[in-house]
Structure formats: C-alpha cells, structure tokens
C-alpha cells in the first residue's frame, strides 16, 4: 500500500494525514512516511520521516512530524507490515508542510 506525492518542496517537516470519514479507518495502521529524491522503486532508500502503529477512527487527523526537516521532492506514505490481500490504504487527504529552498 503506497501513496506518492511530488511535494515540490525542498525541506518537508510535517504531514497531516486524514482517514476517510465514511469507512476504513481500521486499515489505517502501521504507516510510515519517507521523504527524499528517490522514486517509487527506491522509496525505502529515502529518509524515514515518521511512523505510527494506529489504528485510528474514521475521519481522524494524524500528525506525523519528522525529527528534522528532510530535503527531497518525493513524499511516500506506505505501510510497513504485510496487508490482507485486497486491503487498501484509504486516505481522505494528505497535507505536507515544508520550506522551499529559498526560505
């Protein structure tokens, strides 16, 4: 289960991930966020920003904060445990906070 964002920011430091309001929050567990310049095939080579065990309730906002701002253009939200076949990571919204290179 993977979601990739091209954040076009140089230094990401916090994400807010919102679970769906209508269902599926029980799937929102064992989440990790990687930030860096490697693409999807090498996503785990990017720096680990944060992880959480979960689960959460429907419509929850989960704040994930990097220990330090991480330079990179790609943000990956994925799971770090094997999922039941067909189980997807259902996310309503992802907000990425960061600073541009000129900030």
Whichever domain contains 59, its CATH number is 2.60.120.260
Structural domain harbouring 27: 2-99
For residues 85 and 75, give the distance between their C-alpha atoms in angstroms, rounded to a whole number: 24
Judged by average pLDDT, the poorest of 19-23, 45-49, 57-61, 78-82 is 78-82
Three-state secondary structure string covering 35-61: EECCCHHHHHHCEEEEEECCCCCCCCE
Mean pLDDT, range 51-80, rounded to an integer: 91
* pLDDT computed for residue 68 by the predictor: 92
The pTM for the full model equals: 0.83
Q: Are 101 and 57 in contact, with CB atoms under 8 Å apart?
A: no
Q: Domain count of the chain?
A: 1
């Amino acid at each position: 289960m993977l979601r990739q964002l091209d954040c076009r920011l140089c230094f990401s430091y916090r994400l807010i991930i919102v679970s769906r309001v209508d269902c599926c929050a029980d799937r929102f567990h064992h989440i990790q966020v990687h930030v860096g310049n490697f693409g999807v095939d090498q996503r785990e080579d990017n720096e680990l920003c944060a992880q959480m065990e979960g689960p959460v309730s429907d419509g929850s906002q989960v704040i994930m904060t990097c220990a330090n701002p991480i330079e990179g253009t790609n943000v990956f939200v994925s799971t770090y445990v094997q999922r039941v076949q067909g189980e997807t990571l259902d996310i309503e919204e992802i907000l990425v906070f960061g600073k541009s290179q000129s900030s």
